[in-house]
Structure 1
Amino acid sequence: MFLTIEKLLDPGEVQRLQEIAARVRFVDGKATNPHTTVKQNLQADQSTSDSSEASSIVFQAFRRSREFEDFALPQMIAPPLLTKYGPGQHYGEHIDAGEIIVGNQRIRTDLSCTVFLNDPDSYEGGELESRLGNRTMMYKGQPGDAIVYPSTTYHQVKEVTKGERLVAITFIQSRLPDSLLREILYELGEVYAYEADKLSWENRNRLEFVQQNLKRLWLR
């Protein structure tokens, strides 16, 4: 299951991240995946204060997003990382690593997330393409929009042919590793949010009984 979040970032945050991206030092994207043969992009040098500020801006946006919290049930979020693609750069089809190491912590990658930071009309190509069975889905969001998807998904970033693609990426360890169980809780939550006021008080309580006790049973 995929989730698109419109306007995860507000315009001021997008502008600030664009300003940081204009001056931060970028390094070869293989710095965090030296053995890959399909990754051709640039990422912000994580040792700089500018990179830390950018990471904090995106992280705080996640924390205030009820939609993200309900969908991902995050236990840990890797520091979001500014990433860019210029003409000729791309990231070939892959699935994300099962875990990443951040400092002394190991983060299991249940979910991946891309946050779009510049106007999609300012560059050509650069679509995030995900493979679902024999179908592919393409994403190219507006500045501040995000997409969250299972890290087990085959996906790629298509070659940028003109302009520059600027995004922030991160990985999430969920309190509920099983993607089907996460989807069940998310759908129950959506039904409760949209339909509870239309139900009798008795049935509303019964729906909440199911929802809350599944959380007790499954969440860690």
Structure 2
Amino acid sequence: MYRVLQILTDAEVAECRRIAASAPFVDGRISNPHNKAKQNEQLHEPAAYQKSSDLLRKAMLRSPEFMEFAFPIAMAPPMMTRYKPGMKYGAHADAAFIQLPGATIRSDLSCTIFLNDPADYDGGDLHVSLGDGELSFKLKPGEAIIYPSDTFHQVMPVTRGERLVAITFIQSRIPDPFRRTLLFELNEVAALEGLKMDPENYARMQLVQQKLLRYWGDMP
């Protein structure tokens, strides 16, 4: 029910880091003053935020694997956040609904895109609780982890260096995570093996795919 994807090119990572280095960040609680678990900074300057957000969003939407795994219908503008020594984000679940200018989206999936080398900082691992399992992620620059928004997760304290990431939230066309994962796996099998099948059976598989998408799809 989670996926690690390569989202950004090296050039896009470099551009995000350049924007971050030249723009002001503010206390991350500016967007949620009552969140005591949140101890980080977020990009605040409007022009820099818009530029980086557009870059990150376009990169995500051009990724076939992201589109096939998330079935996105809406996405919050990706925002760069950073953690300096001593900063962390305590265990929490993301809000069910995210208020955006002119719209509200349901957060089915959360996404963290890593922007600097894991060797540049100590700590700062993203811990996600999935069932009885505890998963830890500290990915390479340009890689993203996508996971259900209704899971407990936390960012461990940074003890050296600086952790730079971008975060966003996605409303999926398939809100149920079990159904979404099942349809993703079925689509993967069809893409990898479909042309080796008897044409009639392949057509039948495609019919099943589309029926499930119609039946489980939240909205067009």
- Pick from 182, 185, 199: which aligns with 1:184? 182
Task: Find the partner of 2:102 among 91, 101, 104.
Answer: 104
Q: Which residue of 1 aligns with 2:34?
A: 35
Aligned letter for 2:149? S
Letter in 2 for 1:91: Y
SS at match of 1:54: helix
Q: Which runs of 5+ in 2 are unaligned?
A: none
Which amino acid is 2:151 matched to? T
Count of residue correspondences: 218
Partner of 1:18: 17
Do residues 125 (structure 1) and 110 (structure 2) align? Answer: no
What aligned pairs does 1:1-220 form with structure 2 within 5 A after superposition? 1-6=1-6, 8-45=7-44, 47-219=45-217, 220=219
Secondary structure of 1:131's aligned partner: strand
Superposition deviation, residue 134 in structure 1: 2.8
Q: Which runs of 5+ in 1 are unaligned?
A: none
Out of 85-94 and 126-135, give the one that drifted further: 126-135
Q: Deviations over 1:88-134 (max 9, x none)?
A: 00000000001111112111111100000000111000000011233
Deviation at 1:196, TM superposition (A): 1.0
TM-score, reference length from structure 2 = 0.96
**Superposition RMSD on alpha carbons, in Å?**
1.0
- Structure-1-length-normalised TM-score: 0.96
- 2 CA distance for matches of 1:123 and 1:196? 44
Distance in 2 of aligned mates of 1:53 and 1:147: 22
CA displacement at 1:33 relative to structure 2: 1.6
Q: Percent identical across equivalent pairs?
A: 48
| Distance in 2 between residues matched to 1:128 and 1:58, nearest whole Å | 20
For 1:156 and 1:166, locate their aligned partners in 2 and report how far apart those are by CA, in whole Å: 15
